[in-house]
Amino acid sequence: MVPTTTVSGITDQELARRENLRRVRELGVEPFPYRFEFTHRAAELRLLGEGKDSASLKSMGEFAIAGRVVAYRSSGKTAFLNLQDDHERIQVYLRRDDEVNDSGTTSGQGEANWPVIKILDLGDFIGVRGRLMRTKTGELTLQAVGVQGFEFLGKSLRPLPFPKVEEVKDEAGKVVERKTFQSSLFSDIEARYRQRYADLAVNPEVANIFRLRTTIVQEVRQYLVEHSFLEVETPTLQAVYGGASARPFVTHHNALDIPLYLRISNELYLKRLIAGGFDRVFEFVKDFRNEGIDRTHNPEFTQVEFYQAYADYNDMMVHFQAIWQRAAKAVLKLKARRSALARGLSMEGLQTEFAAIEAGQVPLVYQGRELSTFFGDWEKLPVKTALKRKGVDIDALSDQELQALIQTNHWELDGTYSRGRAMMLAFEKLVEPELWEPAFVMDHPAESTPLCKVHRNDPTLVERFEPAIAGMEVGNSYSELNDPIVQRRLLEAQVERGRGGEEETHPLDEDFLRAMEYGMPPMGGVGIGIDRMTMILTDQSSIRDVLLFPLQKPE
């Protein structure tokens, strides 16, 4: 925790780097130049060089790459460096003296640059121009050629937390084995979140999670676009918040001198747009909810919501399942491609694997446990049916019997008793803990939400579903209420409850009611939590591992 500090307040290692910076300048080299013209990235060079020997590599001409020095092995008058660009690595070879090249002339590469090369620090950025070669051990390497072969691109003044090498010793204390161990990746969890830049720079597999996250978002967007949904943008700052039950963050607009709220949902705005005649809309949004932080909650989180006119919640289930399966397949393919080389998989082998993924034959695994029905049709699980299976037949129980059930189990019902609340409590206690395979938990009690249509076959229920995967709620969907009179009654009742001291109800949104009064078509709506979706598809156990910058207490 407490660093080795000097009088000036910086560590000895930082001091050494500042000294190296001074020396670079002294050698007439600008340590922070403007640009570098690279021709390829490390990954591209590796692809180009695959299966070629040194002779044919050298005949391919010159290449230039730029990146960060992540390993440095100097042996007197040569140096091998691992250069990292875009989280891919390639070895580069620098020499002090001239080397006679193919055409018999000298390359004159290192002499001028050598003093600078010698004082490179891990983390420095450099550019290298030269020819590809293979070392004795067969590693593809870019060898710098000529005085133009090396350029300094940016000095690092602070040591990056590169992983260490573990030593395995025998009884006599002799080192018998050393290995880089994954668990020693920059592992101070707090520091990893606070200094995500350092985490990303030294842990390429962390960076990969965020690449996968982007892929997931792109797949979802692509699906919606292909199904004629229009991407729109609605306000983050709202004078009246609503669309979910949550406490908002409050802010203030100076010029208007009014309070404003960061949205807890964009639902009411997207419905306004349906009223405005856009039949299918969607939006990726950050929602903000003033709540605690844990493994599955962050105060700001990303959702995609979409609304479709003339559709109901059954139609939305089809979309929901298709979107998740599509994104999951994309993730599995990327993972397969990434590990193909390490697994010695040929191009044909990879194609076969892709076909299997596309056919849903490669299982999705979360935290070591298979989601075996994921690529099939997901179970539809009405709350009442699930409870019946557990021996609780809600419709056959009187209020007294329901209350007795709660008491004998020592469950705690918050708020006042109602049949619907009791039903959801029993569901949480009896059914939820056992949910693992994807399931559309559906047909919730009517009082669970004011924005949903009453169930067409049961007036005590609404047409709502909340899909659960690996025990996590990953979305929410309704046959959306479009009767303005009923809507007003439900929202007003909620405002009344709010005055009664119940938290997390919304103020009355008159403008939303006005939009509904002009007329709204029937519609289905869905919200998908992108963070939890990314958790499940990338096999991460904490929401903070799929957020680049999770909320942290200030240092």
Partner RNA sequence: GAUUCGGUAGCUCAGUCGGUAGAGCAGCGGCCUUUUAAGCCGUGGGUCGAGGGUUCAAAUCCCUCCCGAGUCACCA
Residues 459 to 518: which contact RNA by CB under 7 A? Answer: 473, 504
Which of residues 108, 115, 154, 163 is near RNA by CB under 7 A? 163
Which is nearer to RNA, 357 or 425 (by Cβ)?
A: 425
Which is nearer to RNA, 136 or 252 (by Cβ)?
A: 136
Binding of residue 162 to RNA (CB under 7 A): yes
Which is nearer to RNA, 297 or 337 (by Cβ)?
A: 297
Give the bridge partners for 251, in sequence order.
Answer: 260
Which residue matches tokens 């994309």?
330
Q: Other CB atoms closer than 10 Å to residue 417's CB: what's the count?
A: 13
The Cα 374–Cα 365 span in angstroms is 10
Binding of residue 165 to RNA (CB under 7 A): yes
Compute the C-alpha angle 330/331/334, nearest 5°: 90
Which of residues 43, 78, 101, 239 is near RNA by CB under 7 A? 78
Binding of residue 97 to RNA (CB under 7 A): yes
Question: Smallest distance from the beta carbon of 145 to RNA, in angstroms?
Answer: 12
Which is nearer to RNA, 416 or 457 (by Cβ)?
A: 416
Task: Identify the CA nearest to 60 among candidates 126, 142, 147, 138.
Answer: 142
Identify whether the C-beta of residue 443 lies closer than 8 Å to the C-beta of residue 459: no
Name the segment binding RNA (CB under 7 A); options: 144-152, 190-198, 252-260, 508-516: 190-198
Which of residues 26, 171, 177, 226 is near RNA by CB under 7 A? 177
Which of residues 30, 33, 47, 77 is near RNA by CB under 7 A? 77
Which is nearer to RNA, 432 or 539 (by Cβ)?
A: 432
DSSP character at residue 297: B
The Cα 101–Cα 370 span in angstroms is 56
In the window 423-462, what residues touch RNA (CB under 7 A)? 428, 432
Which of residues 291, 496, 511, 517 is near RNA by CB under 7 A? 291
Which residue matches tokens 């998740």?
324
Binding of residue 139 to RNA (CB under 7 A): yes
Task: Identify the CA nearest to 100 among candidates 87, 109, 113, 88.
Answer: 109
Extract the tokens encoding 252.
Answer: 């203030």
The residues near 15 (Cβ < 8 Å, ≥ 6 apart) are 6, 8
Name the segment binding RNA (CB under 7 A); options: 27-35, 174-182, 384-392, 489-497: 174-182
> Number of residues in contact with RNA, rule: CB under 7 A?
76
Backbone angles phi, psi at 141, to 5 degrees: -140, 140
- Per-residue binder mask for RNA (CB under 7 A), 386-425, x = binder: --------------------------x-x-----------
Helix 347-358 with 313-340: angle, nearest 10 deg:
160
Which is nearer to RNA, 295 or 514 (by Cβ)?
A: 295
Binding of residue 338 to RNA (CB under 7 A): no
Which of residues 36, 186, 282, 324 is near RNA by CB under 7 A? 186
Which is nearer to RNA, 3 or 235 (by Cβ)?
A: 3
Which is nearer to RNA, 97 or 483 (by Cβ)?
A: 97
Which is nearer to RNA, 97 or 517 (by Cβ)?
A: 97
Task: Identify the CA nearest to 288 among candidates 316, 259, 260.
Answer: 260
The β-bridge relationship of strands 78-85 and 379-382 is unpaired
Binding of residue 122 to RNA (CB under 7 A): yes
Backbone angles phi, psi at 96, to 5 degrees: -75, -45
Helix (H) or strand (E) holding 349: helix 347-358
Question: Smallest distance from the beta carbon of 138 to RNA, in angstroms?
Answer: 6
Question: Smallest distance from the beta carbon of 290 to RNA, in angstroms?
Answer: 9
Q: How far is C-alpha 272 from the geometric centre of its chain's CA atoms? A: 30
Name the segment binding RNA (CB under 7 A); options: 244-252, 315-323, 387-395, 487-495: 244-252
The Cα 161–Cα 381 span in angstroms is 48
